[in-house]
A and B are shown apart, each in its own frame.
Chain A
């Protein structure tokens, strides 16, 4: 079957998952609207459900949740100046100013329209380009796959968090933790502390639950409620009358809409960059392109640009996740972990073995973005009211749900203890600005990198030069060095010129 025919048939298949898409979008809008709770934490909380779902349904549900959460994050950002997700930080600048001027409903409507259109505009090219990108990824062998993993860890360590050394330490520590248990070629147990439960390797779900959900709960304890009580009054008084005006404002600014969407797509394809970076870049671009407009004072384009970009990021983040096995964002790390737990081969093999699953998920995003617009247009003011749940109720409830998520895949009580240990470690890491995402990515990709490395050495009879022999490997190493040294060199040149 040709790629176009396959895409067409999977689009029809995606329609069968409409129920999952609608529920995923609503769930995403809800968790996005709860400040401090992103799509990644939200998905970790419902892990037991995801692991019991049919694999494709789980992937469709997760991508719909991701789309919904990116839009949901703008609800408290606009109404309370509290970004629901990191991707909604830039939305606060003008969104909250619009709300202060009594245009909160228009701002919410702009956000809904921009998120929906931004998502649709960028999903179509990704859907068409995925077969080509998959073919390129397939030319990668054991050596290249190993370099790609190192590349991903390094890039993520560099882009996430403030300190480069902290990011890389976490990434490499993750690789080491991921290589716990029997080594894939010689079957020698490594760093198991005598626990038989670790012979199969470090359970990534337990690590994920601990680092994302448990640690976030411990941080959440610092607040009485997720938002201030006085800000909640604003949420309750909103209605739907001005929504249509917001849609028209978005359509009038179509140029900003298109440029911001494609900025999001490109940034999303860079591992680790995520919604926050793309939204800020798109906001800056919109400011530069429209010097006459008053950004920061309640300008509709200031809501439109970051919202289009942070939803477009999802389509971009799909590219490295599906074709290379390198997650484009924190939520993609969760998706990748669930894919692994569901028995999918991650990396370039995913596209060869399961092309129909990949296209179905991307096709479902097209439908999802349409549903997102409709659902968020009508429900956003009501969803915002969910932010009144006090943390003293929220924390123990989330703890039980997420700890059971760690228990579900293997039914080992040991995994819950491990999740709690990772949770406390994650809390300490968050307190000292150590990024958790490179650590979990290292744990997920650790067994793969270990296996690729050992296989490559077997092929070369122990010669480490195999990693530097062919042009493609050299190109990848070159790109890795350039991505690390490039910004430093550029800064030096700029400094010398000044």
Chain B
């Protein structure tokens, strides 16, 4: 199989991912709604029907589009351009999403301020590393920025907006100092 054919398959799969997820979610919804009385069920069933119809339209359109182009030498440009190539940007997005998830997991244990400081610093460091930005001064600057941002956002959310944030060492230290 040539590289282009692989890319075509990948593209088709990528294009059909969202309709498939939508279809699966609506099946789950359908299951939870199946025991309701008819009047309560009909709304869900109608919406699910439309989700299935449009999912099917998108999937069939992509399958037919790929088939129609199979006979031709060149692959459809549009399809190829939309294939989700694993490039640097996507790796970066995956990293940032993963770090954000770790940030949320660590927040109840470390507290809002410390987890935010660590998160902002790591997110900047990952971007610097993947974008090839180096330098000791930059590291110092990002540490200073992370600390200032963490403290400023804590002050804004906790004192200005009165939001109850996860408590950690820093929060207890600040509150102890204020009292």
Which residues of B, 25-67, contact A by the 8 Å Cβ criterion?
Answer: 25-26, 28-29, 32-33, 36-40, 42-44, 47-48, 50-51, 54-55, 57-58, 61
Cβ–Cβ < 8 Å partners of A193 in chain B = 28
A420, B104: Cβ atoms closer than 8 Å: yes
B32, A191: Cβ atoms closer than 8 Å: yes
B124, A48: Cβ atoms closer than 8 Å: no
* Segment at the interface with A among B68-76, B127-135, B168-176: B127-135
What 1/0 flags go to B97-132 for Cβ under 8 Å of A? 100110010011000000010011001100110010
Cβ–Cβ < 8 Å partners of A395 in chain B = 96, 123, 127
For the complex of A and B, list the 7 residue pairs with the smallest distance between their C-beta atoms, beginning with the closest: A396-B123, A169-B54, A392-B127, A172-B50, A218-B93, A396-B120, A191-B29
What 1/0 flags go to A446-481 for Cβ under 8 Å of B? 000110011001100010100000000000000000
Cα A407 to Cα B25 in complex, Å, equals 25
Cβ–Cβ < 8 Å partners of B25 in chain A = 173, 176-177, 191
Cα A458 to Cα B92 in complex, Å, equals 52
Which residues of A, 418-438, contact B by the 8 Å Cβ criterion?
Answer: 420, 423-424, 427-429, 431-434
Q: Do A169 and B40 form a contact, CB below 8 Å, given A427-B93, A432-B14?
A: no
B104, A454: Cβ atoms closer than 8 Å: no
> Is B5 on the interface with A (CB-CB < 8 A)?
no
Cβ–Cβ < 8 Å partners of B119 in chain A = 396, 399-400
B149, A397: Cβ atoms closer than 8 Å: yes
A168, B164: Cβ atoms closer than 8 Å: no
A-B contact pairs, 26 of them (CB 8 A): A49-B161, A165-B57, A166-B54, A166-B58, A168-B50, A169-B18, A172-B50, A172-B54, A176-B29, A176-B51, A177-B25, A188-B40, A190-B32, A214-B100, A221-B93, A222-B92, A397-B120, A399-B96, A400-B149, A408-B163, A431-B82, A432-B18, A432-B82, A450-B43, A453-B42, A454-B43
Q: Do A392 and B133 form a contact, CB below 8 Å, given A176-B47, A400-B119, A432-B82?
A: yes
B38's contact among A400, A431, A462, by CB below 8 Å, is which? A462
Cβ–Cβ < 8 Å partners of A366 in chain B = none
Cβ–Cβ < 8 Å partners of B120 in chain A = 396-397, 400
Seen from chain A, the residues whose Cβ lies within 8 Å of a Cβ on chain B are: 48-49, 52, 163, 165-166, 168-169, 172-173, 175-177, 179, 183, 185-186, 188-193, 214, 217-219, 221-222, 224, 391-393, 395-397, 399-401, 403-404, 407-408, 411, 413, 416-417, 420, 423-424, 427-429, 431-434, 449-450, 453-454, 457-458, 462, 464
Cα A427 to Cα B94 in complex, Å, equals 10
Q: B145 to chain A: closest CB distance in Å?
A: 7
A424, B97: Cβ atoms closer than 8 Å: yes
Given contacts A221-B127, A413-B108, A457-B39, 4 further A-B contacts (CB under 8 A): A169-B22, A172-B51, A185-B40, A392-B128
Cα A401 to Cα B22 in complex, Å, equals 29
Most chain A CB neighbours (cut-off 10 Å) among B33, B43, B133, B153: B43
A191, B28: Cβ atoms closer than 8 Å: yes
Cα A179 to Cα B93 in complex, Å, equals 30
Cβ–Cβ < 8 Å partners of B100 in chain A = 214, 399, 403, 420
Cβ–Cβ < 8 Å partners of A48 in chain B = 157, 161, 163
Cα A413 to Cα B105 in complex, Å, equals 9
A186, B51: Cβ atoms closer than 8 Å: no
Q: A187 to chain B: closest CB distance in Å?
A: 10
Q: A435 to chain B: closest CB distance in Å?
A: 11
Q: Do A173 and B43 form a contact, CB below 8 Å, given A396-B123, A431-B84?
A: no
B124, A393: Cβ atoms closer than 8 Å: yes
Q: Do A464 and B42 form a contact, CB below 8 Å, given A172-B47, A189-B32?
A: yes
Which residues of B, 1-18, contact A by the 8 Å Cβ criterion?
Answer: 14-15, 17-18
Q: B173 to chain A: closest CB distance in Å?
A: 20
> Is B179 on the interface with A (CB-CB < 8 A)?
no
Cα A224 to Cα B89 in complex, Å, equals 11
Closest to A191 in B: B29
- What number of B residues sit within 8 Å (CB to CB) of A? 59
Closest to A460 in B: B39
B17, A428: Cβ atoms closer than 8 Å: yes
Cα A487 to Cα B39 in complex, Å, equals 35
A173, B22: Cβ atoms closer than 8 Å: yes
Cβ–Cβ < 8 Å partners of B55 in chain A = 169
What 1/0 flags go to B143-158 for Cβ under 8 Å of A? 0010001000100010
A423, B97: Cβ atoms closer than 8 Å: yes
Closest to A461 in B: B39
Q: B21 to chain A: closest CB distance in Å?
A: 8
Cα A188 to Cα B92 in complex, Å, equals 42
Q: B127 to chain A: closest CB distance in Å?
A: 4
B51's contact among A169, A190, A432, A434, by CB below 8 Å, is which? A169
Q: B129 to chain A: closest CB distance in Å?
A: 10
Q: B121 to chain A: closest CB distance in Å?
A: 8
Q: B164 to chain A: closest CB distance in Å?
A: 6
Closest to A52 in B: B161
Q: Do A179 and B84 form a contact, CB below 8 Å, given A165-B61, A392-B127, A399-B100?
A: no
Q: B118 to chain A: closest CB distance in Å?
A: 11
A176, B44: Cβ atoms closer than 8 Å: yes
Cα A189 to Cα B89 in complex, Å, equals 40
B36, A183: Cβ atoms closer than 8 Å: yes
Q: A448 to chain B: closest CB distance in Å?
A: 12
